[in-house]
Structure 1
Amino acid sequence: MNTERFSLAERARIHAALGDSARLAIVDTLIAGDVAPGELGAALELPTNLVAHHLKVLEDAGLVVRTRSEGDRRRTYVRLQSEALAAVATPAALAAERVVFVCTQNSARSQLAAGIWSRRSHVPAISAGTEPAERVHPRALKTARRHGLDPSGWRTAALGDVVRRDDLLIAVCDNAHEHLPTGQVPRLHWSIPDPAPADTDAAFEAAYAELADRIDRLAPALTPDGITGSKQ
């Protein structure tokens, strides 16, 4: 965290919020990806009222924010504030033989994520869509080239055609996350706004920046061994 942007009182509030074991467990869960409040309660075996209480403390401390799903507008997701992440521990160690980045059309966010990941980690990565488009979005290709990625081989693919049972799925789209196969584990969710509706370089740059930031946090914690099993 850039402490110059926070007063002593704000910094003390952050540390106080993390002093509770349940809140620290919530933050540990959110480091890797975004989670709905109900999912947090189920994962941590906490009743709804305690989840609400702890999230309010974390929100007041500036550690988390809630965002509404771009898919099912009735759902909300909790995410860590990027500026506060430096005060939090790194993600717990994960293991996967391959990462699959997923969005709905596999035309922008998931393609960029797989490209960025391939420059940050030795663990292989591909991308796929729950409802793949016919082609990759032209602005995604432009953004990739602007950052030194080579998108010449990028093609859209359906998730069902490429996923293996022991892949780590990372949904970079609310709608895709809400339609992932229920039996597919492990999985993470990154609630990243779709840049396509705005269709501007700025929107695609914002998506790229958030993907790169999240990948920089997760890649060092992911190892290629430890998850085995037959593949589909």
Structure 2
Amino acid sequence: MKKFSILVALCCVTGSIFAQTDPSQLKKEGNDALNAKNYEVAFTKYDSYLKQTNGTDSVTAYNCGVCADKTKRYADAAKYFDIAIQKNYNLANAYIGKAGALKDLKKNPEYVETLEAGLKAVPGNKTLEKLYAIYYLKEGQKFQKTGNIEKAEENYKQVTTLSSKKWKTDALYSLGVLFFNNGADILKKAAPLASDADKYAAEKAKADADFKKANDYLQEATTLSPERPEIKKMLTQVQESMK
């Protein structure tokens, strides 16, 4: 009797496994769950389906990435969005999804690499450009606050490569402010040296070089976005300092 009970139990388990491993059924159940916004179930079904079918279904891989992201499975989200990218499906959104997952994983180098790859694949995409610009503008601000002018300039200039007028202008304006502030700071620190003509002249030359850089960046920003009053105001202040 005991052997019979074990046999029945094994048969039931085996039957259950076969019932659950039908790929088409898993995909259907995943689609139903996604339509019902039950992302947890949808991810489980899609994940099983894709593993059984070697991830060949780009649409389902993308949908699985969405469900993984919704359920905070960011490593899985990055993996499945990458499958969609490799299969050239819904490229812009797949790159955006993968980048977002990598950002949540705090993988900044991979995040930036994904944005760059996305911009090559889908040039001018507004969301990708926005994410790219915000990242480098924040990095520039971070270095500017610590007084690392070279690194701040390097990061701000990354944004000037974009096609968006807004983001290019923001970057050029930031560069103008960066060098104006640095020039003004040099002059402030040089004030006690006023009695030593040579030393003061050397410091003033450094400040003037920064004011010149600020002027050039702001002139470019004004040409690009003449309607923005803050740029004209800053440019006037810079030119007054150059007299």
The structure in which a higher percent of residues are helix is: 2
Larger-Rg structure: 2
TM over 0.5: no
TM range (shorter): under 0.3
Normalising by structure 1, we get a TM-score of 0.26
Normalising by structure 2, we get a TM-score of 0.25
Looking at both structures, which has the greater relative contact order when contacts are Cα pairs under 8 Å and sequence separation is at least 6?
A: 1
